A and B are shown apart, each in its own frame.
Chain A
């Protein structure tokens, strides 16, 4: 028996919470809590550890191998964010500050050398004012992996450490800032969960943007594989135009991006984009599931780093098959999935008038 007005009020709140929710809102909300926020938190955490590692390594409290591990963890967290680059990270020129790719002219090496020449005693404040080319993981990778740099040599270590430390701090601050923009009141997470708001008029707009971001990242994965394969350069392989060629993490990055794209599709608990396809669309659902599985398995089956695979016919054959698989996956999303959900991929952005 209900006695107090307070109990009544609470009950009605509880009932409201149980009332059927707009399926689009349910998906946007579930992806925010189950996929996006955890990924942004992990990224911020990995960058905190990167900053610590850089300082420890430069104070001789950590080995180069440990420093490389911290870098790989940050780079992998970043690669996993590609299909989730919605909101703050897609704005304000922030993504360029994390990674400079493609780098066709080896600007990273040239600008790092130029910067250290002009500022031998570089401070974090100097780096904040410098070009995005030297602020991010690509420059960090150059420092800890490039064969022309030997951090075991004390003189070289002293030369490069100010930059190593400054990049770690820049990335930690950037990631913390982005996470704060997600978690703030009326921040990105709130805008993906309650409608209307200043960004989205309704849940359908949020879901559409989540899908567009994911589809554009799938296209990006094709570019990351297609560029070193020479698909934009008459079939001539371009191993040094691969993402993360110095750390030989190109394929690991692809796998991290693919896994995140699949999480947008599936959701943490089968509550991702696929939940919006009714049972009459089971056939499409199964084809998309199968396409993910095919791409994932082809990628997992590659036994050698990208640079090696590019070096012989058999390797290039495997990579081309992976590319075709990624392409099929991308097209399924861009056309059939988008059409089924009534989502426009873009219109005026490609107009050219």
Chain B
């Protein structure tokens, strides 16, 4: 059965310019005739903060003003809800109705806890887990556990992240095992200043839903902070790092844990390693195409590799690129300063096509639902 449907666009939509005509000719997005909904935090030109939802043809579904910069967005598995998670060291996250952007709840973290910008809904839709800082012991990582009842999230308890400064967390394909990127950095409430660069302890942790530690692994470089994650449908985990040490240190920022194997550096070319400038923003896996993508906004590069062979498929310029999501064709990438791009990976030569979404001011992550 053909899942993809051709995107029908009227001439009027394309009247905006030849760019659009070139961009949209011949590619398809989404299923059932509905384009995926792109969710992201975004600013406006005056610096105000929004939680936004756009169809990939550029039509706005909602843009809801929020009190601060959000980071990741976590969509509910079955209901039209999404939590826009406050950026470190925020104590608030925003639960929105993704049909119209209505704010359903401003979720507050409890005393002596703040969000780190990432969360996940459990597959049954009843539970949400968010990475948080225990500011009474700055940097001690916890996972706040929240229950969704009557359209509101309520905190019911917390688990240890088994590490310092946890950042992104995701489910393994069983939907019951969590993988957590403990960034290894201690920060205090209301601060973004690192307190322990001389004693960082970053790790990749697997734990069950009750908080039981299944494994904890570290990279060889102490100052290599594991921040962002992607998980393939076969359970392969990829992590993207930010290196806090000397800019000249030759440290790779991409690591992989294949099923049943140890957490280790991904085979990365020296040119790509250097081009990242010790900083990555997001990482994503396309399970069907077996591809891995990473954005490096300081190096202004988008990279795509073959997940299995580690062969480089794309090393392309894109200023301030950050958020990545997958569609049938490949990857959608957002940037803080330019138009979003679709990287069409269906043939041997990957091509970049600009999207008709508003240009620039897109924050670090995007989700496509």
Contacts and interface: CB of A to CB of B under 8 A. Distances in A.
Interface string A282-310: 00000000000000000000000000000
Interface of B is mostly: mixed
A173 B341 CA distance: 34
A343 B335 CA distance: 13
B91 interface: no
A196 B274 contact: no
A98 B117 CA distance: 40
A128 to B, nearest CB: 14
B351 interface: yes
A353 B87 contact: yes
* Count class of interface residues, chain B: 35 or more
Contacts of B43: 347
Interface stretch (B100-108, B197-205, B355-363): B355-363
A351 B322 CA distance: 10
Interface stretch (A26-34, A199-207, A239-247): A199-207
A196 B43 CA distance: 25
Given A344-B336, A344-B360, A353-B88, A195 B19 contact: yes
Given A201-B341, A202-B339, A349 B354 contact: no
A212 interface: yes
Interface string B334-367: 0111110100000000011010000111111000
B167 A212 contact: no
A57 to B, nearest CB: 32
Interface stretch (B171-179, B215-223, B256-264, B312-320): B312-320
A93 B277 CA distance: 10
Interface residues of A, number: 29
Given A196-B23, A198-B352, A201-B354, A346 B274 contact: no
Contacts of A348: 281, 295, 297, 320-322, 335-336, 362-364
Interface of A is mostly: loop
A309 to B, nearest CB: 29
B338 A205 contact: yes
Contact of B19 (A87, A202, A346): A202
Given A205-B339, A342-B45, A348-B336, A199 B317 contact: yes
Nearest to B334: A348
Contacts of A352: 192, 242
Given A93-B274, A205-B338, A346 B354 contact: no
Interface string B263-301: 000000001001100010100000000000001011011
A157 B358 CA distance: 61
B113 interface: no
Nearest to B350: A198
B298 A349 contact: yes
Contact of B319 (A93, A208, A342): A208
B271 A93 contact: yes
B317 A351 contact: no
A92 B317 contact: no
Interface string A182-225: 00000000000001101111101100110010000000000000
A67 to B, nearest CB: 30
5 contacts: A199-B317, A201-B359, A202-B339, A204-B359, A349-B300
Interface of A: 87, 90-93, 195-196, 198-202, 204-205, 208-209, 212, 339, 342-349, 351-353
Given A200-B338, A201-B23, 7 more contacts: A93-B274, A198-B316, A344-B336, A346-B320, A347-B43, A348-B295, A353-B364
